[in-house]
Structure 1
């Protein structure tokens, strides 16, 4: 199988590409390598898969010196012409779209980039899948789509009409766009609502990175909502397992779907949405406690109110993902945080 994976210089995309390559599949990787966070970390991820920084230039195919079946392109997903050219040349079987402008808080001050990357970029992917048909399009949604919802656990049959950030709104828009193309052009699409992914090679703008850097510098960490937060923290290896299980099982029409009582997570078209999380919410203070244990050091804490755009709790119902794919997350927060700390210390030599 030949997979096109977007965001392969990013956290989740890097891990997915690496898994597929080690499994023996062919991978075409795309990433714009923007400066939303440290580009050196992005280049190091690419180097782990044999893509040398010195070989990378915009729109040029770069071949891995480690995996014969890996080709990488630096490109902006909003560049439709280049996107179409890559699809025509590479003739991929499955697309896994993990590229996006991430971050709830960043969307409060930089809304325009979310429209360009998450809306225009995703439209270009859909159009390419229409012009050069694929067996399956899997794409990243987010637990953020649940917005102001308070009924727990979050389930894909819940209404998601009340997002509380532009980032969340763009992810809901992706699901709506995907359904439209599944309906109009019979493209099998599956959206994955990720729940707080963490682990080695993670994003420096996320809590675990910010916490460990502050603790090591003996600076206070920012604890929002006065620590009364719960997150369905999900370790990266469990996420990758779920993504691959879904990618290998193209979405199909739901024969029981009816317009009289429309079920939001499936359709009469080849369309499906899953939650992908640990299904075991952890209090933020316990998450911090696991980090303190792994570091052998107590954090100084600056207790703050809930930040605009954030939600106080997330909790994934993954019943249908387990039923349909056999997905079974099995990494505890304590083990996952310890693995992250070990990677961080090795990577940064601290």
Structure 2
């Protein structure tokens, strides 16, 4: 297939692109290479596949309306994996308008491109952040998610609603994937694994928020990519059992679905840190701090729908995933 992957120089986008190219798909990659974090890391990810004969790279911002129209008109992708977005919970508190440009305006351009150019399935990145103030664990896609705790989460919830309107009005199959704390080699420097390794190696205090009482459903990158591909290969369908008087938030009378994609085995933050200490052979000095604004104390994915419908089985233990990340980090940064 010919697949448009947005955010192809990003963490998940680059890993997905490599897998798609390896199985013989043609990939049109799009990324704006912004400086939210070190652009050199994005260039290094891209270098893994930029010369592949099945790959075409486009440097463009999602908010460029005319540019996005031309991408769809020229390349005519059959399917779209939309992973580009302005990421980061805390950054959304400082720079909310950046999220409007990328996550709202940019997503509208993706929907319009899919609508007008015959795309037969749009898979897009949502987030576990949409669960916000929900406290029932594990988080289920069949629960209401109307109380986001950050503006980033609000834009991801908005994406799900925008996609539903296009699925209903134009019969465009769309699937939203709520990612749960993705980590692994080639990850994002603003995320905890980079900060943990850097602090431990440099003998600096490691900032432990919520006094270490976080639980996170840490999900290894390979398990995420496997799930994305399985979903991408099967366009969303209507739910014939859907009832308006008892609406299911995860499906619809339109070809629209949302799924959790996570490890479904939450880990205490202190145990996660211990895995890094073990992989590095050093004990971390810890600075215990309160919960940060916009953060959720716990995340825990109910992935039963994804398991039942796609035979999705994440199988990378945290100790193994952390070991692989640390190995990559030390090699990439020569440390």
Task: Report the TM-score when normalising by structure 2.
Answer: 1.00
Moved over 3 A (4+): none
Aligned residue runs from structure 1 range 126-165, under 5 A: 126-165=111-150
1:111 Cα deviation from its structure 2 partner = 0.5
1:80 Cα deviation from its structure 2 partner = 1.1
Q: In structure 2, what is the equivalent of residue 226 of structure 1?
A: 211
Aligned residue runs from structure 1 range 313-332, under 5 A: 313-332=298-317
1:223 Cα deviation from its structure 2 partner = 0.3
1:227 Cα deviation from its structure 2 partner = 0.1
Q: Secondary structure at the match of 1:73?
A: strand
Q: In structure 2, what is the equivalent of residue 204 of structure 1?
A: 189
Q: In structure 2, what is the equivalent of residue 278 of structure 1?
A: 263
1:349 Cα deviation from its structure 2 partner = 1.0
User: Which of 56, 61, 81 matches 1:76?
Assistant: 61
Q: In structure 1, what is the equivalent of residue 237 of structure 2?
A: 252
Aligned residue runs from structure 1 range 179-198, under 5 A: 179-198=164-183
Q: Distance in 2 between matches of 1:132 and 1:25?
A: 19
Whether 1:44 and 2:29 are equivalent positions in the alignment is no
Q: Distance in 2 between matches of 1:119 and 1:286?
A: 36
Q: In structure 2, what is the equivalent of residue 333 of structure 1?
A: 318
Q: In structure 2, what is the equivalent of residue 55 of structure 1?
A: none
Q: Distance in 2 between matches of 1:12 and 1:221?
A: 26
User: Which of 289, 298, 303 matches 2:274?
Assistant: 289
Whether 1:2 and 2:21 are equivalent positions in the alignment is no
The alignment covers a number of residue pairs equal to: 335
1:22 Cα deviation from its structure 2 partner = 0.8
Q: Distance in 2 between matches of 1:81 and 1:95?
A: 18
Q: Distance in 2 between matches of 1:69 and 1:91?
A: 15
Q: Distance in 2 between matches of 1:230 and 1:245?
A: 27
- 1:95-141 Cα deviation digits (max 9, x unpaired): 00000000001001010100000000000000111111211000000
Q: Distance in 2 between matches of 1:245 and 1:221?
A: 37
Which ranges of structure 1 fall in alignment gaps of 5 or more residues? 51-64
Q: In structure 2, what is the equivalent of residue 60 of structure 1?
A: none
1:328 Cα deviation from its structure 2 partner = 0.4
Q: In structure 1, what is the equivalent of residue 25 of structure 2?
A: 25
Aligned residue runs from structure 1 range 116-135, under 5 A: 116-135=101-120
Q: Distance in 2 between matches of 1:68 and 1:121?
A: 28
Q: Secondary structure at the match of 1:87?
A: helix
Q: Distance in 2 between matches of 1:349 and 1:226?
A: 32
- 1:302-333 Cα deviation digits (max 9, x unpaired): 00000000010000000000111111000010
Which ranges of structure 2 fall in alignment gaps of 5 or more residues? none
Q: In structure 1, what is the equivalent of residue 327 of structure 2?
A: 342
Q: Secondary structure at the match of 1:105?
A: helix
1:29 Cα deviation from its structure 2 partner = 0.3
Q: In structure 2, what is the equivalent of residue 34 of structure 1?
A: 34
Whether 1:111 and 2:96 are equivalent positions in the alignment is yes
Q: In structure 2, what is the equivalent of residue 301 of structure 1?
A: 286
RMSD, aligned α-carbons:
0.5
Q: Secondary structure at the match of 2:287?
A: strand
Q: In structure 2, what is the equivalent of residue 215 of structure 1?
A: 200
- 1:198-227 Cα deviation digits (max 9, x unpaired): 000000000000110111110011100000
Q: Distance in 2 between matches of 1:132 and 1:221?
A: 49
- 1:230-287 Cα deviation digits (max 9, x unpaired): 0000000000000000000100000000101000000000000000000000000000
User: Which of 84, 92, 95 matches 2:77?
Assistant: 92
- 1:68-106 Cα deviation digits (max 9, x unpaired): 110000000011111111111111110000000000010
Q: Secondary structure at the match of 2:89?
A: coil
Q: In structure 2, what is the equivalent of residue 15 of structure 1?
A: 15
Task: Report the TM-score when normalising by structure 1.
Answer: 0.95
Aligned residue runs from structure 1 range 52-71, under 5 A: 65=51, 67-71=52-56
Q: Distance in 1 between matches of 2:271 and 2:120?
A: 42
Q: In structure 1, what is the equivalent of residue 160 of structure 2?
A: 175
